[in-house]
């Protein structure tokens, strides 16, 4: 990993070392993977309008997120089945009381998954969890493995029995809020309508996400949907985003468009595959450095200086 200098270096190497069906599960998206691709390509459509002569000799990358200071507003999104990438896997993936007891500061509930999306590569590969691995959070339950038989219209992931509950509604958000004192963040909201319902339910945050393009092809890129959610409720709840972040300039763009913090999914998996915990640390360190350079050279000594006017859609320049 010594000579790896960007997320792409990790991604390329992970493609070489991971078994095909594991790689496809991590890499892949739903359907024709148009949403997956647009998570990346849409970032390129936004341009940074840099400012100059603004004393960037001292730089502060920290932010306050849900009342807590974070040293840099980049986090890791939840990804299942990490132990296929590295034996260390995810070392903290707990349920509500365990999360509270362990000192976690917020709960994130994924609301874009009444079912698991249809992923062509997983269906073709007959994806299942390797037999030595279990879903650790479901120990004792009959569904601790993902080995159900796939069909030509679904993989084992589309046959998870009662691990998924497609009957969930906004009433369940009320219930969840009633059993925990932790601030609740809903992950997977892409519309102003749902953002308003979420804010009215008293959630503390919304993570704008299309689940890495893995649920339904045709959903917008997360960065495209971000402004709709920010405009609807950005003054009432904290807004976060994930999907397609692979560079510090992506972080800058998302923050300028109203995200308080961004999260990465696959880049962390590539780090894990290439170097375990150390690989994940390197991914975060690379993104941090790139973000610091994007901020400073664009004229922002601190995260607070990243203003909405500093990022525009590329169409801005064709109108001039
Ligand atoms: C292999 C894999 C497994 C995932 N598992 C989950 C999951 O269990 N729960 C969840 O909310 N999101 C899950 N996600 C979605 C991520 O949390 C995140 O939204 C997405 O990966 C962000 O896009 P990115 O990979 O382009 O950074 C998964 C993503 C991947 C790639
Ligand atoms: C408890 C098993 C989870 C399988 C699906 C995880 C997921 O969200 C994904 O995108 O894959």
Sign of the CA dihedral with 170 first, then 172, 178, and 180 last = negative
Collapsed DSSP state (helix, strand, coil) of residue 238: strand
**Of residues 86, 181, 211, 313, which has the active-site annotation?**
211
User: Does the Cβ of 264 fall within 6 Å of ligand 1?
Assistant: yes
Does residue 139 form part of some domain? no
Confidence of residue 140 (pLDDT cuts 50, 70, 90): low
Average pLDDT (147-169) is: 85
Name the closest ligand to CA 127.
Answer: 2
Q: Is 202 left (phi over 0), alpha (psi -120 to 50) or beta?
A: left
Does residue 135 form part of some domain? no
Does residue 26 form part of some domain? yes
Round to whole Å and give the CA distance between 269 and 288: 17
Pick from 40, 34, 180, 173: which is nearest to 110 by CA?
A: 173
Confidence of residue 271 (pLDDT cuts 50, 70, 90): very high
Does residue 149 form part of some domain? no
Q: Residues lining ligand 2, judged by CB closer than 6 Å?
A: 80, 113, 116, 135, 157, 160, 163, 211, 214
Do residues 237 and 200 make contact, with C-beta atoms less than 8 angstroms apart? no
Does residue 117 form part of some domain? yes
Does residue 304 form part of some domain? yes
Q: Per the annotation, does 110 bind a ligand?
A: yes
When divided into structural domains, the chain yields a total of 1
CATH of the domain at 243: 3.20.20.70
Measured in angstroms, how far is the CA atom of residue 80 from the centroid of ligand 2? 5
**Res 195 pLDDT > 90:** yes
Round to whole Å and give the CA distance between 175 and 100: 17
**Res 1 pLDDT > 70:** yes
**Res 136 pLDDT > 80:** no
**Res 94 pLDDT > 80:** no
Residue 211 is a catalytic residue: yes
Does residue 121 form part of some domain? yes
Q: Per the annotation, does 209 bind a ligand?
A: yes
Q: What is the average pLDDT value for the chain, to the nearest integer? A: 94
Q: Which structural domain, as residue segments, surrounds residue 112?
A: 7-51+58-126+166-318
Average pLDDT (217-242) is: 98
Does residue 284 form part of some domain? yes
Q: Is the pTM of this model over 0.80?
A: yes
């Amino acid at each position: 990993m010594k000579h790896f200098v960007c997320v792409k270096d990790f991604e390329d190497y992970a493609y070489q070392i991971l078994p095909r069906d594991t790689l496809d599960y991590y890499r892949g998206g739903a359907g024709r993977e148009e949403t997956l691709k647009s998570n990346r390509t849409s970032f390129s459509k936004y341009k940074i309008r840099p400012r100059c002569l603004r004393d960037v000799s001292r730089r502060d990358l920290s932010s306050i997120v849900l009342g807590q200071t974070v040293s840099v507003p980049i986090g890791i999104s939840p990804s299942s089945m990490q132990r296929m990438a590295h034996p260390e896997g995810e070392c903290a993936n707990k349920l509500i009381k365990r999360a509270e007891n362990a000192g976690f500061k917020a709960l994130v509930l994924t609301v874009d998954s009444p079912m698991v999306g249809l992923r062509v590569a997983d269906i073709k590969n007959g994806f299942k969890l390797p037999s030595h691995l279990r879903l650790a959070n479901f120990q004792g339950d009959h569904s601790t493995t993902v080995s159900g038989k796939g069909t030509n219209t679904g993989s084992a992931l589309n046959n998870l029995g009662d691990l998924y509950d497609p009957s969930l509604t906004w009433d369940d958000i009320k219930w969840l809020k009633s059993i925990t004192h932790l601030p609740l963040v809903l992950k997977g909201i892409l519309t102003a309508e749902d953002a308003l319902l979420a804010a009215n339910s008293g959630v503390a945050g919304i993570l704008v996400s299309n689940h890495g393009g893995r649920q339904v092809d045709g959903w917008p890129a997360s960065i495209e949907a971000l402004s709709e959610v920010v405009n609807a409720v950005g003054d009432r709840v904290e807004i976060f985003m994930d999907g397609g972040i692979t560079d510090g300039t992506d972080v800058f763009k998302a923050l300028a468009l109203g995200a308080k913090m961004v999260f990465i999914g696959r880049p962390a998996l590539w780090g894990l595959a290439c170097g375990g915990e150390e690989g994940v640390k390197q991914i975060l360190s690379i993104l941090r450095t790139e973000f610091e350079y994007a901020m400073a050279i664009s004229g922002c000594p601190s995260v607070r200086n990243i203003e909405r006017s500093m990022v525009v859609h590329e169409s801005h320049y064709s109108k001039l």
